[in-house]
Amino acid sequence: MHGSPFQWAAIFHKEDINFTKGHHDLAWYDPTSKSQEHHLPCKVQCGYCRTPIMDEGRNMILLFPTLIEGINTKEGREAFKPQCHMFYPQRVVDIKDGLAKWAGLNEESELCDEETGEAIPGSKPEKKENEENKKKGGEEANGKDGEMKD
């Protein structure tokens, strides 16, 4: 938790990251149960100094890029330059940079007007899975037992 008006964060699929020195020195906090057990979703921090490292969900992690090796190089900064703004209606500062501004999660909520910050009705993208299901008739998008694939 911090009092900053901005949070520079990168979202990754869990299988796309690797801790080069293992996970043994990490500590977890589950804010729902107020427990230090490893239950998802949870906050992940350094086991020694308690510096926040990331938020861990079921399939994704939200990582603070300043902790990534090589981030302070030109290539590192370019690779992690902002691509969009999420939860824009809750902002504390207007940001007029031409990047997409989403009312909630990117690609899952309505876009926001850069001038007013208000959600643009009808701008919410259709889910890709729904489009694929429609194209395939729903057959191949489902597993053998009719369960949806991830």
Predicted confidence (pLDDT) per residue in 66-106, tens digit: 888 899 999 998 988 889 999 999 998 899 999 999 999 89
| Share of residues in the chain with pLDDT > 90 (%) | 37
Q: Which among 8, 2, 4 is positioned nearest to 81, based on CA atoms?
A: 8
Average pLDDT, the chain: 81
E strands in the chain: 10-13, 26-29, 42-46, 52-56, 60-63, 84-85, 100-101
Instruction: Name the pLDDT band for 150 (thresholds 50, 70, 90).
Output: very low
Cut 0.85: pTM above it: no
What are the distances in angstroms from CA 146 to CA 31, 65, 130? 34, 39, 15
More confident residue, 67 or 123: 123
